[in-house]
Amino acid sequence: MILQRTVLKFYPHFPRRGYSAEELLHMLIQVLDERNAYLILAIDELEALIRSEGSDPLYNLTRIQEDHIKAPQRLSLICVLREPEYLDMLDPSTRSTLQHNIIHLEQYSKPQLQDILNDRVPLAFRHGAISAQIVDLIAELASSEEGDARYAIELLWRAGKYADASASPEVLPENVRKAAVSVYPAVRKDMISSLDLHEKLFLLGIARCFKQTGAAYISMGEAEDTYVIVCEEHGEKKRSHTQLWKYLKELSALGIVKTEPSSVGQRGKTTRISLLRVPASDLEQEVNKVLYLKRT
């Protein structure tokens, strides 16, 4: 199919049936010679080809020009795969040919994911429906999943669907969190139950703050202010800033929240908190359930 599509680029009316892969390959080289053209054939998801066809297609593609040693090398390959161990399934001669030039690409960084998302947003959303903080939040989530661009794009799509369902004119951070939990449910009940009382109260304050503000990020100060109100509701004496900082580190280690230094341009030094994989309303409900069960 790959060879047929390539030949059709040169001859749109070329017969689609009746030729073997080997015949098509020889025809392709002949066409390139006739046109004095050079072809770089990029094959993505190479694992799929290896699984279905084994070594034969790649062997033929890499060896076809051995009959044209003194002629120009018309065909070059770029093979893209996520799992290099699939190369071990090839026969030794094919594997040695492919392994002459290997480039290992690092996972996408957060800025690169933001670029990818910003490229997709105008294709699918009306102007103003996706803010910079939404792109930032989705990129943050995807960068924590080994820089998975497909995951980022799926989150963008799902968040848009949740916004549509709620008749919102724009995608909100809560829509992104719902999208994230629908893909990878993150916070288990036993995880919340294992926290001590004031860790739960602090987490409840964080959830409420996100729910009330609708923001993608809150400051440590905002989290503390809401925590104080929660303590008053539960008749508990608030803990110190130092102790709350320890709680925040524990919640971050559990993957419930994410922390980072405040952005450039904000006044003073503080910690920025994001709630990544669980909607604030769901988290508030879950913590309230655990607190109620403890009291009863």
Domain boundaries, the chain: 2-98, 110-183, 189-295
pLDDT for 268 equals: 52
Sorted by sequence, the CB contacts under 8 Å of residue 126 that are 6+ apart come out as: none
**Dist CA 56 CA 49 (whole Å):** 10
What's the pLDDT band for 21 if we cut at 50, 70, 90?
confident
Query: Two tokens at 130?
Result: 């996706």
User: Class for domain 189-295, per CATH?
Assistant: mainly alpha
Q: Does residue 108 register a pLDDT over 90? A: yes
What is the enclosing helix (H) or strand (E) of 226?
helix 220-233
pLDDT for 89 equals: 85
What is the enclosing helix (H) or strand (E) of 131?
none
**Of 185 and 34, which is predicted with more confidence?**
34
Least confident of 170-174, 224-228, 273-277, 282-286: 273-277
Query: Does residue 180 contact residue 155 with C-beta atoms inside 8 Å?
Result: yes
pTM exceeds 0.75 for this model? no
Query: Two tokens at 29?
Result: 């080289």
Task: Count CA atoms closer than 13 A to 198's CA, side-chain side.
Answer: 18
2-98 has which CATH code?
3.40.50.300
Q: How would you classify residue 31: left for phi > 0, otherwise alpha for psi between -120 and 50, otherwise beta?
A: alpha
Winning range, highest mean pLDDT, from 87-96, 187-196, 219-228: 219-228
**Dist CA 144 CA 186 (whole Å):** 13
**Of 5 and 122, which is predicted with more confidence?**
122
Q: Which of the four CATH numbers 1.10.10.10, 3.60.15.10, 1.10.8.60, 3.60.20.10 does domain 110-183 have?
A: 1.10.8.60
**Dist CA 46 CA 43 (whole Å):** 6
Among 198, 288, 209, 204, residue whose Cα is nearest residue 242: 198
Among 295, 268, 273, 269, residue whose Cα is nearest residue 218: 273
Q: Tens digits of per-residue pLDDT, 114-126?
A: 999 999 999 999 9
Cα distances (angstroms) measured from residue 185 to each of 28, 156, 162, 280: 49, 17, 16, 13
Q: Does residue 265 register a pLDDT over 60? A: no
Query: Two tokens at 172?
Result: 């909100």
Cα distances (angstroms) measured from residue 104 to each of 49, 79, 135, 208: 20, 12, 27, 43
Average pLDDT rounded to a whole number, residues 70-75: 82
Q: Does residue 227 register a pLDDT over 90? A: yes
The three-class DSSP label of residue 259 is strand
The three-class DSSP label of residue 130 is coil
pLDDT for 294 equals: 67
Task: Count CA atoms closer than 13 A to 93's CA, side-chain side.
Answer: 8
